[in-house]
Amino acid sequence: MTIPMYVSPEQFMKDRADYARKGIARGRSVVVLSCREGILFVAENPSSSLHKVSEIYDRIGFAAVGKYTEFEHLRVAGIRYADLRGYSYDRSDVTARALANAYAQTLGQVFTTESKPYEVEITVAQVGPDPAADQLYRLTYDGSVSDEPGLVAMGGAAEGVAAALADGFDPTAPLDVALRRAVAGLARAGGRELGAADLEVALLDRARPRRAFRRIPGPEVETHLAAADGSGTTPTDQEG
Amino acid sequence: MGDLRSLTHGAGGSSFTELLRQQAPHLLPGAALGESAVAGAPELPHGTTIVALTCADGVVMAGDRRATMGNVIASRDMEKVYAADDYSVVGIAGTAGIAVELVRLLQVELEHYEKIEGTLLSLEGKANRLSAMIRGNLGNAFRGLSVLPVLAGYDLTARQGRVFSYDLAGGCYEEAAHHSIGSGAFFARGALKKLWRPALAPEDAVRVAVEALYDAADDDSATGGPDLGRQIWPTCAVVTADCTRFVPAPDLERIVTDLVAARRDNPGGAR
């Protein structure tokens, strides 16, 4: 009689977590941060059609890194969840917190019961009337959820990007300053130059009345990035 | 709805109506009435006259504000013209309760598609989705709970305004220049026929729309006329390549006041 193989729960979870982390670390990074005008999403994403950043509902946006098919499933499910909830109750009853909880449950279930965990990390953000009222929820592959104060970095070089941005982070900075800092952080951690064509940028605009999400097109991104050259101080210079 | 996995797979694609049919069919417009609803319509508020016409930069749609229940005025300030999305508007005539639900569903349907696909539906696509919704209400229509909308929008491909009308079976017909629905439609249509010109400037088209509603209110008791005392003006929307916008109250007040003055002692309205 063969002895059944025993794997301790600790080891089982650790293996799965390692697997998911490795998958996520291969991808490029995304930064979500509060600024004066709203919540800014900056993704290093050379594709103009496969998005890493998306509108979910009126004041709620979504950003993800990892395996595209997996986070695309989650994105669509989030939109369906939000639209169903808003239609059944009222538009004001759709909140990022409830959506983050639903995502957390789903990711947790998949992590423990499916044959493999999702190799994704996502951020759900809800824009408020001022930066202090913004809500950013970061969700990892195992379903753990954390409430971040104004700044989330995810993906391959997330730790490096987060460290670079957290230093002197100002959630009330104007849009162009926040964008330049985010791009500089992504570029430094990734070890490559980033132009408007390598970026996917979107804003949850505080000033817009209902649907706050708007994509910022390449030329506009270029203008914001170029503004730094004129003033002679790039974010990199400021940080020495 | 704790676990989103029930929402990640399965049919429905980018249609919110299909999703609703699977997840919460009782929320479909008019669904709660079920088969038990008796033949012979109960008295419910009805929306009345809507006019839509093309103009140089797009389309204009206007609606009166009266809702009636038999011979009683149920509401003096009901909205019957809604923005379906940034480039289309929908006007409703018929049983108000179901019509309002239908508009809400259409709005979510279009927004849902836009978010999931990352692109707008074509104007024909929007018109066809509305067709399917009306067809879904056919059972109720036979019980007297009918809804007949009119859809108008700016076609971003053809670069022009277009108007679509419907029948109870969901048949969708494109109107060449202008159209009117509701109990005052006969009278409004007569006015539109005389006043409409090709490539009207949007502000002139708004004036024509208001004048057509004035004529409808003149002869149809269910259509509300301009209410100067209460300062209630018709709802008026203009759709162009830029956006859908509603004409602000001060502008409407001016148009209505001028119109009423021009018609004094001159019911034909000849100018």
Does B115 contact A at CB distance below 8 Å? Answer: yes
> What confidence tens digit (pLDDT) does each residue in A85-114 have?
999 999 999 999 999 999 999 999 999 998
Residue A233, pLDDT score: 45
Q: Judge whether residue B34 has pLDDT over 80.
A: no
B7: part of which helix (H) or strand (E)? Answer: helix B5-8
- Compute the nearest-CA separation of B2 from chain A (Å): 5
Round the average pLDDT of chain A to a whole number and report it. 91
- From chain A, the residues in CB contact with B20 under 8 A are 84, 87
Nearest to B8 among A73, A86, A101 (CB): A73
- From chain B, the residues in CB contact with A49 under 8 A are 118
Residue B156, pLDDT score: 95
Contact indicator for A154, A29 with CB cutoff of 8 Å: yes
Confidence of residue A235 (pLDDT cuts 50, 70, 90): very low
Residue A32 falls inside a structural domain: yes
Q: Judge whether residue B41 has pLDDT over 90.
A: no
Confidence of residue B37 (pLDDT cuts 50, 70, 90): low
Residue A69, pLDDT score: 93
Interface residue of B4, B16, B106, B112 to substitute, partner A, most A CBs within 10 Å: B4
Q: Look at B18 and A212; give whichever has higher pLDDT.
A: A212
> What confidence tens digit (pLDDT) does each residue in A175-210 have?
999 999 999 999 988 888 898 999 999 999 999 999
* Residue indicated by tokens 């203009």: B238
Structure tokens at A224: 């914001």
C-alpha distances (whole Å) from B50 to each of B188, B189, B208 are 9, 10, 13
Residue A234, pLDDT score: 46
The least confident of A153-157, A179-183, B90-94, B122-126 is A153-157
B4/A56 CB distance under 8 A? no
Work out how many domains chain A is built from and give that number. 1
- From chain A, the residues in CB contact with B5 under 8 A are 77, 106, 109-110
Residue A134 falls inside a structural domain: yes
**How much is the average pLDDT of A151-163?**
90
What whole-number percentage of chain A has pLDDT above 70?
94
Contact indicator for B233, B63 with CB cutoff of 8 Å: no
The least confident of A176-180, B237-241, B261-265 is B261-265
Residue A126, classed as helix, strand or coil, is strand
Residue A160, pLDDT score: 87
Sign of the Cα pseudo-torsion (A25, A30, A34, A35, in order): positive
Q: Judge whether residue B204 has pLDDT over 50.
A: yes
A106/B105 CB distance under 8 A? no
Residue A188, pLDDT score: 87
CA nearest to A215 within chain B: B118
d(CA B86, CA B246): 11
Residue A1 falls inside a structural domain: no
Nearest to B24 among A88, A105, A110 (CB): A88
DSSP B225: -
CA nearest to B6 within chain A: A77
CB neighbourhood size of A36 (10 A): 16
> What confidence tens digit (pLDDT) does each residue in B186-199 have?
999 999 999 999 99
- Compute the nearest-CA separation of A102 from chain B (Å): 5
**Is domain B44-265 annotated with CATH 3.60.20.10?**
yes
Confidence of residue A83 (pLDDT cuts 50, 70, 90): very high
Confidence of residue B264 (pLDDT cuts 50, 70, 90): confident
Q: Which domain holds residue A144?
A: 25-225
Residue A59, classed as helix, strand or coil, is coil
What are the residue ranges spanned by the domains of chain B? 44-265
**How much is the average pLDDT of A14-43?**
93
> What confidence tens digit (pLDDT) does each residue in B101-152 have?
999 999 999 999 999 999 999 999 999 999 999 998 888 888 888 899 999 9
**Catalytic: B48?**
yes
Query: Pairing state of beta strands B72-75 and B88-95?
Result: unpaired
Structure tokens at B69: 């229940």
Residue A7, pLDDT score: 86
Q: Judge whether residue B171 has pLDDT over 60.
A: yes
Q: Domain with A103 in it: what CATH number? A: 3.60.20.10
10 Å CB burial of residue A231 (0-12, 13-18, 19+) is exposed
Does A84 contact B at CB distance below 8 Å? Answer: yes
Confidence of residue A237 (pLDDT cuts 50, 70, 90): very low
- From chain B, the residues in CB contact with A80 under 8 A are 7, 12, 19, 112
In sequence order, the β-bridge partners of residue A199 are A44
The ipTM, to two decimals, is 0.90
B27/A87 CB distance under 8 A? yes
**How much is the average pLDDT of B243-267?**
92
Round the average pLDDT of chain B to a whole number and report it. 90
B8/A105 CB distance under 8 A? no
Q: Judge whether residue A4 has pLDDT over 90.
A: no
- From chain B, the residues in CB contact with A45 under 8 A are none
